[in-house]
Amino acid sequence: MSPPAIIAPSILSADFGVLGKACSDTIDQGADWLHVDIMDGHFVPNMTFGAPVVTKIRSHVDRPHTAHGKGTFDCHMMIAEPKKWVREFKKAGCDLYCFHYEAAIASTAADSPSGTSDKKTSPKELIRFIHNEGMQAGIAIKPSTPVDVLWEILAN
């Protein structure tokens, strides 16, 4: 038997003037998760929310009681330095931190916004880091990236 479908609407189309209420209403009306698109204007040309906005909307939506539970914040990180922001978004209320493979391999392994590193980010190590911070991890690829790049990363 297949697991039940998860309804995770994106909040990108919400009215930003009443974002907290829009998020709580969406969960109250039957959504399981909220999909939060985080864009930094570098990895992708658009900019959306930062950790302070996630903190504010989290105060309107109860934390899930279990992994994958109702109220999960699925943060899709379309950002150039994914490892740098793991702790900030955990603190803000992110439950699932989904980063882009392409951003990870092109970025440094610094683990805070003010940190520096000469080492490149390993997607496998980033997944481990996210898990160690108490979040679920996801990995996304751009349409032009062959899916084969994920097999070694997801082998375990």
Domains of the chain in start order, with CATH, are: 11-153 (3.20.20.70)
pLDDT at 15: 94
Q: Is the pTM of this model over 0.95?
A: no
Q: pLDDT tens digits, the chain, 156 residues: what are they?
A: 888 899 999 999 999 999 999 999 999 999 999 999 999 999 999 999 999 999 999 999 999 998 889 999 999 999 999 999 999 999 999 999 999 999 999 988 778 888 888 888 899 999 999 999 999 999 999 999 999 999 989 886
C-alpha span between 93 and 10 (Å, rounded): 16
